Structure 1
Amino acid sequence: MMITYTKSTIVWSICATSGSNVSFAQLLDDENLVLKQDDINTQSYAWQSFEHPTNTLLPGMKLGLDRITRLSRNLISWKTETDPSEGEYYLVNTDITLYLYSRSGNICCSAQWDGIDSRSKGLVYSKVNDSQEVSFSFQASEQPAIFVLSWLGKDKWLTWQSDSRQWDKVWEEPGDR
């Protein structure tokens, strides 16, 4: 695939206030896109994509609430299969339950943390509920994996199949449990 840009094409931009110290954008090894301040070697981020998920949870990302900063990290579906603007559904992590809501506020489905099992080898889940945060995250040790909230309101575990070069569905909810 070849992408051609002209001088008038904006590929990416940031609206920074005057006096902002944002100097670098960097894609880290874990796929977290960060805006760094002053020095590329520092660990100080002005912004990071892992704190603002869209419809996809990557390994190491957290779904839930940072109780210190009050930052809520929820998944939000796309409007349609090809339109990434905010859609009808969002997935929220509470103290012990994952809830799928529609924009109308109706609960479409829920899953207790204890009901989440590893349906694919190599997925390791982390659940935290303490004074600093309530979060759900995962790591994939055997093959790349992602968790996606589809535009139809279904959450899916997908794993990358290198032989077929595509994402394969491990399970989908509502539907497969």
Structure 2
Amino acid sequence: MNTKKWVFNLLLPFLFFRICTSIDTLTPNQSIKDGDVLVSSDKTFALGFFSPKYSNRRYVGIWYNNIPEQTVVWVANRESPINGTSGVLSLNRDGNLVVYDNTRNRTVWQTNVSAVSYSARLLGSGNLVLFQGDSGSGGGVWQSFDHPTNTLLPNMKLGLDRRTGLQRFLTSWKSRDDPSTGEYSFQLELKEFPQFILFKGSSRVWRIPAWLKPQRTAKAEDMASSKINGTVVNNRDEVYTSYTLINASNPSIVFVDELGSLKMVTWIGKWVEFYSVPGDQCVYGRCGANGYCDSNNGQDFECTCLPGYKPRSAEEWNLRDASDGCIKKREELSKCGNREGFVKVANTKIPDTSKAHVWMSLSVHECKDECLRNCSCLAYMSQAAGGARAICITWYENLMDVRRHVRRFLDGGLDLYVRVDAVELGMSLCAEF
């Protein structure tokens, strides 16, 4: 037998095994050219070069491998597209992932890790990970899940790693055909009490309070028609939200679209929308300071003032413009020790907590007393029931983004107690708002 042929036949099974097992992994002696792909071992995700539907520009991205409608969930060089098919993705000598434009002889994107990595692997979760060992045998030193674009995949974390300062947030595409950073973002605001906010530039559009418990798993019936289970974690190391799929056979994603909506869609032969916010008129600031928004109140106008308040501008209010908000009806009676009390506003979305104060362990009565003894306290909200102790939130400045609770993503409704003067208290007769 020919010696060369014998050696080739001997090595063929090993070469074939190497190719098959490395289809999801990029090593320093390999590269991904335009037209090549990495495919996760479970065939769920693919990584390679793509162009948006009505664009010729080329980007490195990750998309669902088995969904006929190309759905890109992550983009590497979103700010620096390549014109033509000369792009290459590889690991450089420092162990960083690099997207290189051969036509212009320039690097258009790269990771920035100091630890030397030896392989990049696309996992079945859709996460691209740089490992210090070949085929993922060493520790991960970089991952795409830490640098999301517009999409939150199952088991991704959205929020802050307090240990490293890493902030993970979503940013919309500029348009359906342009994945560069758009004007909308969804991110964690960590002040007195964490909350997730949908921004247009620097302006708030929608707000989702982080839950009052240090860790909370949402009930299935709260989560977009029972498609996902959501979790909020808030501890000394990190604060974030994430979700898992109830039915893994139907992929679901959460994303910020280019028009400024936060959506959850599920693949059932096509992408079906199960959740979208803003979903009504009650966007952030719709009814102004100390206003209350209820899109289902059966009236022509969704805005009213909280108990003890009146429109700042009756004329603007009559024109259905509530942006100036509400002021106290009887300022002269709003003094401490003047027989003031609280009126309950039932089933309310947690108001904006950026200027609130959080008490970690108070009963309902202690929460009420804490607010009552402070002349500046305008309202309180407690998660505690009966004599139990739980988190209490008190507000000392104008109440913003107060609305009736509706079933929304990781957003619960509680009773809000608004401080009112003796006259208003008598008129309410302790009735609910």
TM-score norm. by structure 1 comes to 0.84
Report the 3-state secondary structure (helix = DSSP H, G, I; strand = E; otherwise coil) of the residue aligned with 2:155. Answer: coil
> Which residue is 2:265 aligned to?
158
Number of residues paired by the alignment?
169
> Which residue is 1:88 aligned to?
183
Query: Partners of 1:43 and 1:59 in 2: how far apart?
Result: 24
Residue 16 of structure 1 and its aligned partner are, at CA, apart by 6.0
Residue 156 of structure 1 and its aligned partner are, at CA, apart by 0.2
Query: Partners of 1:169 and 1:36 in 2: how far apart?
Result: 36
Aligned-residue Cα RMSD (Å) equals: 2.5
Distance change in 2, residues 1:124/1:44 (3 Å): same
Residue 110 of structure 1 and its aligned partner are, at CA, apart by 0.8
Per-residue displacement from partner, 1:37-94 (whole Å, max 9, x unpaired)? 1332425122101111110000000000000000000001111111111110111123
Residue 22 of structure 1 and its aligned partner are, at CA, apart by 2.0
Report the 3-state secondary structure (helix = DSSP H, G, I; strand = E; otherwise coil) of the residue aligned with 1:137. Answer: strand
Q: Which of the numbers 149, 153, 164 marks the counterpart of 1:69? A: 164
Q: Which of the numbers 186, 195, 208 marks the counterpart of 1:111? A: 208
Per-residue displacement from partner, 1:127-149 (whole Å, max 9, x unpaired)? 10110000000001213210010
Residue 151 of structure 1 and its aligned partner are, at CA, apart by 0.9
Is the Cα–Cα contact under 8 Å of residues 115 and 141 in structure 2 kept in the other structure? no
Report the AA paired with residue 230 of structure 2: Y
Report the AA paired with residue 55 of structure 1: N
Residue 4 of structure 1 and its aligned partner are, at CA, apart by 4.5
Query: Partners of 1:42 and 1:35 in 2: how far apart?
Result: 11
Matches within 5 A, 1:21-170: 21-94=116-189, 95-103=193-201, 105-114=202-211, 117-142=222-247, 143-161=250-268, 164=269, 166-170=270-274
Report the structure number with the largest CA radius of gyration: 2
Is the Cα–Cα contact under 8 Å of residues 119 and 136 in structure 2 kept in the other structure? no
Query: Partners of 1:12 and 1:137 in 2: how far apart?
Result: 29
Query: Partners of 2:93 and 2:245 in 1: how far apart?
Result: 35
Distance change in 2, residues 1:173/1:26 (3 Å): same
Per-residue displacement from partner, 1:140-177 (whole Å, max 9, x unpaired)? 1213210010011110001111xx2x211101111166
Residue 119 of structure 1 and its aligned partner are, at CA, apart by 1.8
Report the AA paired with residue 233 of structure 2: V
Query: Partners of 1:152 and 1:39 in 2: how far apart?
Result: 42
Query: Partners of 2:163 and 2:93 in 1: how far apart?
Result: 25
Query: Partners of 1:16 and 1:134 in 2: how far apart?
Result: 35
Report the AA paired with residue 156 of structure 1: K
Structure with higher RCO (Cα < 8 A, 6+ apart):
1
Query: Partners of 2:265 and 2:92 in 1: how far apart?
Result: 34
1:10 aligns with 2:80: no
Residue 111 of structure 1 and its aligned partner are, at CA, apart by 1.7
Query: Partners of 1:33 and 1:70 in 2: how far apart?
Result: 21
Query: Partners of 2:158 and 2:272 in 1: how far apart?
Result: 22
Report the AA paired with residue 167 of structure 1: W
Report the AA paired with residue 206 of structure 2: C
Report the AA paired with residue 47 of structure 1: W
Report the AA paired with residue 158 of structure 1: V
Is the Cα–Cα contact under 8 Å of residues 129 and 135 in structure 1 kept in the other structure? yes
Q: Judging by fraction of residues, say which structure has more strand.
A: 1
Query: Partners of 1:159 and 1:43 in 2: how far apart?
Result: 34
Query: Partners of 2:129 and 2:141 in 1: how far apart?
Result: 8
Distance change in 2, residues 1:110/1:15 (3 Å): farther
Query: Partners of 2:210 and 2:178 in 1: how far apart?
Result: 31
Name structure 1 gaps, 5 residues minimum: none
